[in-house]
Structure 1
Amino acid sequence: MPLIVFLFCVLFAAALDATETEQATQQNISAHIQKQSNLTFSNYENRIEQLSLKHNQDNLEMLAALNQFNEQNPTNNLNDLAYLLSYRCYLELVNNQQDAYQQTEQSLLALTISSASDPAISAATSFCKSWRYYFEKDAKQYDLYIEQSFNYALNTQTPVLKYWIAISFAMMAQDTGRNSAAIEAAKLAMTIANVNKDNYREATSRAIIAISEAELGFFDDALINNQWAIDWYKSVDQQNAILGLYQNRGFILNSQGNTAQAKAIYLDAIEQAKKLENQDAIHEIYSNLAAIAFTEGELALSNDYAEKTLQYAQQSDYQTLAAHAYSIMAINNVYLNQLDLAQEYFDKGNSYFEEYKMISLLADNYKSWSEAMASIENFEAAYKAQLRYKELSDKIFNTERESRMLRIKELYEVAQKDQEIEQLAFDNQRKNTEIENKSLQKRIWVLSAVITLLAFIILSFFYRKLNTSNKKLTKHNTKLNEERFIDPLTEGLNRRFFEVQQRERMLNVPEVSFSLFALDIDHFKSLNDTHGHACGDQVLKQFCQRIRQSIRQQDNLIRMGGEEFLLVIENSNLEADAQLIKKLLAITNSEPITFEQHNVSISVSIGAASNVNIYDETTLDFALELADQALYKAKQAGRNQGELLDLYQINLASVINNYDMIVSKTVTSRTQQ
């Protein structure tokens, strides 16, 4: 009997060792979730919220009420102080009380020192500074301190302040084109709203999420979040808020390519804005209708809307709206052959976007300008604009990546501290248990053996069940991870795949040579304008199918955006690449694509950087740039052909700005071997 019990004890100890790490991981995850779900508004915060609702029409009156509340309800709680002082900062700046603001800022700095940089106080201090720069219209410093306050706020348990900062950061990130970061922050704000059953704050969060989802192409999700916010504001009869959300809905539908519904939404919104006498909204909608009219080829109508918008924006000093109007009128005047006027408007719009760091809007402006210049065959201007667009797009991506790394670092440091505390508690508990066990061991030895046996059986059952669940979860997560790299239209690889996996692959195998093919469907914009976006979508699907049928299984065709694709070939050579270009040209225009009653013939232009060894990020960027230059040359030479660059054992840095030094070959579907 003692031998059997001893064996059961050994098996029980082994089971505990096998699950100890997994249990610790589950505890850490649960603790992190618990921190988020416990973000209920404190009694102190709720009382300030009641004051805010009572005096929401008068900021000066609210400031006096807040100061009186502070005198009557002194507190040493750092979370409550952080919220109170950051709110007071805002009210003092709104009411232009600079001396009072300086005193509040000094109080926050003193608390930062005395509290050993408590995250809530640090967040409030940075947030307070951000408001000063906001009112001074210093966008660069405002963005910096909002980012800093958000990083601190992630580690706080101050729900109202955390919500306020998260929403401010989300709006800033959205304005600067960092839409993934905007969604992340707004979802944090929405979690706080859900915990506190605050529908107003949830509607605000969803409205921000919807715009960023539309910018990233998640149109169905965007429409759902937008409709949720509209329905809630209708339930409380907030007409101005509903009007703004209808404008957002028009933007989402237009971005989705559903211009007919977008136009209908905008026209209804104008009638609502007229009833509310909201001139800003009326002319913002005119700006959107101008863009739609341009898309439909109604240049005169587009200019009419844009000129009305510009006239109102100049009269009311609405600079952002004026910049949008200038951008639309610039493109219109290109097609109306008013090139000097077009350049003047283009420069004015860009000047504003540059000054206020609206990188996403600036990138869109350069992309539209490049397309317009290409349409009038000013390929030099088109190419320069396209380079600037690429530079801005890369900047948006890199900025978002750096921001995410900073936040991950903050979360990692907090997690490490929590883990150390949990380990100390665990060690202490284990020592106490050992002492108790020694004192009881002689008296309850048999009973312990029975309990150990039962515990082992139960734990083994749950361990197997947990292991099975983990395998299913891992399989599901793997499937989700694969789907996020798939372009939903063409069912092929997307740009995210290139940035996350393909780029890493090329950087980690310097011994492998790569050939990079930049492909662009010829006259795709004209095809869209003539036959509609549904036809364009069909062309993109058929084009991808034809290309994939013509390449090896290990080669990757990646949709980089619109009608632009990148084909990555491993371990090829110049002759094989020339043959592949010839094959791709032939298969592309081998037979027309049938859509409804139309037979659409297409062709493709190809720029290829052949036989490149990738050693670092710079080499990769140079190779991509050379492929783009070759593509541009192929288009300039008449399209429906390829330009092949022999880059074998060439120092790319020495030729990146000296394209003519590279040995190149023009390839057509009729090129002889």
Structure 2
Amino acid sequence: MVKLYSLKTRIIMLLKTVRATQASLSLLSVGLAILGLSTSTVAAPSVTFSSLEHTHLAQLSSSPPQRDNDIEQQLDNLLDGELIPSDHAALDELLRHIDSSTPIDTFVRAHGYQVMRLARSQQASAALALAQELKTLAETHTSSNALSEVETLFAETYLATEQMPLALTQVELLKQRLPLTSSARVRYHMQHLIARVLQQTGNYSEALEHLLAARELVPATQTQGQARRRLSLNVLLARIQAHLGQWQDAQTTTAQAIQQAIAQDSPQHLPDLYLLHAYAQQYQFGPSATLVEAFLKTAAVAHEANNSRVEMLGYNNAGAAALLLQDLNAAAEYLERGRVLATALERPLERSVTEFNLGYIQVLEGKHAQGIAAMLSAAETFNQLAQKRERMLLLTHIAKAYAIMGDYQQQAATLAQQLKMTQELADEQRDQQLADLQLRYQATEKNYQIKLLEQEAELREQELAAQQRQQQWTQATAIVALLFLGLLAFGYRKTRQLNGLLNQANSELQHQSLHDPLTGLYNRRALTDPTVGADPRLQSVPYAVLIIDIDHFKMINDQHGHAVGDEVLIAFAQRLRNSIRATDNAMRWGGEEFLVLFKAIDRDNLLEVVQSVLRKVVQSPFATSAGNLPVHISAGCALVTSATTDPRLSNAVKQADTLLYQAKHAGRQRLHYALSPEHVESLSLRF
């Protein structure tokens, strides 16, 4: 059993280390097992739920916030896990006895477990709808504890469904509500949730601070739940230590947490703890027979706990470690078990990695043609799902396979492909910097030309002034007068020409500063220009903001080259320009994102206009030098009316961007639109 002070001490020491070094952190990626390089995430459990009857919500009395101690005790007894009961049937039976007479704090807590079950089963809409009903009740009863618990449920839903921007926004709200919350249990849940969100987003220093705050609250919570809460905090601490590369500390923490879980009869934590402990061994000591046994132990524990995901990762990593030890028979056996589980779980990324390793084993066994074919087939699937840096890692092992086969020509070609991908990554990082530098250079050059024209115009004005003075001194003959008039007319015309050149230069500079050089559309700067984004009409009449993103555009660049990608962007912009109304403005928002301002458009016409525009843009393939390429899109659209609380354009753009993010998270090829701030709808864009 871990002493009470040990967790607090380790958190403080790790927090000091983070603050002192400010070193770059090595993050664990998800579920890869390429020749021994593997990591994991925590999957949400599969749950069932019973719906909350609206009549119960409507009939709750308006008594002051309070708790039902008997029901609270029953809920505590059900909490065998950290956050929600694992016995769903028992919870459903208890919920059937909770009605309009139940005090609000207890009512919200009990039905809050339903929200979390829905969220962990990826039913985000249902979870958020139920949480909103509970929030309305909490506000009606003016219960600060109940309202804090509901806001935490929103954050739990966003975290479980990987909506990290919304989760981070909710975290800021929870920080403000912490001083208003008196319940130690609710405050613990809030601090625990904040720490998990910050850990998921890489803010380890602040995550540790909230983890320590949660640890300080444990003694004030119910006695029977204190041990499992300390266990949960140890699990979270071990994950942060692993993310920070503190492998020895991670091993110590996971070993103690495993002992805690066994002593407390909390098997639900054991699979991930054994897996994390083995990872720490792997990254500290490298492959060994002991490491293989550690991953096999992980698989066995996960199988007993019916956790197929961790069981799959255990076998995959045991096989990868055995492969590095050149124990090919054992490696093939373990990898094949992992492949079967990945197939059953419908995890194509993990399955492709396992099949890649199995192909590598065949190459090592002398089955060259069969093995390299399996590796290339697996790499094709992997490349569709992984990032470019991860794909480069596969090329390293493909090159090694060709070297084993003695096919040095293919090895050289593979290494050249890897070198090209390395250069592409570097080029992509420089592209934006070069574009900005080029624009700044062009603007400087135009300013220089303008100054030269201004100086020439000033000189001409001085010459004309001298001619005018000469006229005053010379009036001897009509010929001289006529000559003067001719010179004056010439000077006037020349001055007009110079002024025209000056105005033209200014106009060109203004045009370049507001337009994208590739597509010719407006750029982001146009959003603040009085004739485009800052048009006063946007503040006084209904308008809408639409943001469009080309789905998987990076794959076009990767497969066909950046020149073909530019062809698609140019054609896309042309179609978009031809599809909008004359009163609207289209702009390239950045990369493969485009923004449209619909001016003077009302609620009744918006959806029809937007659908028409999107259909015209992508209903037919794009003709490029690489052939006809189909293009799919996701979009978010926000309407601003006189009833909108904040009608500013910046707020509308932010809302449209959030809706676009939700559309992409929902599977892409969708339009998420809000005709009012509180009502979001979704449409398919599969034309």
TM-score calculated relative to the size of structure 1: 0.40
Which protein is richer in helix relative to its size? 1
TM-score calculated relative to the size of structure 2: 0.40
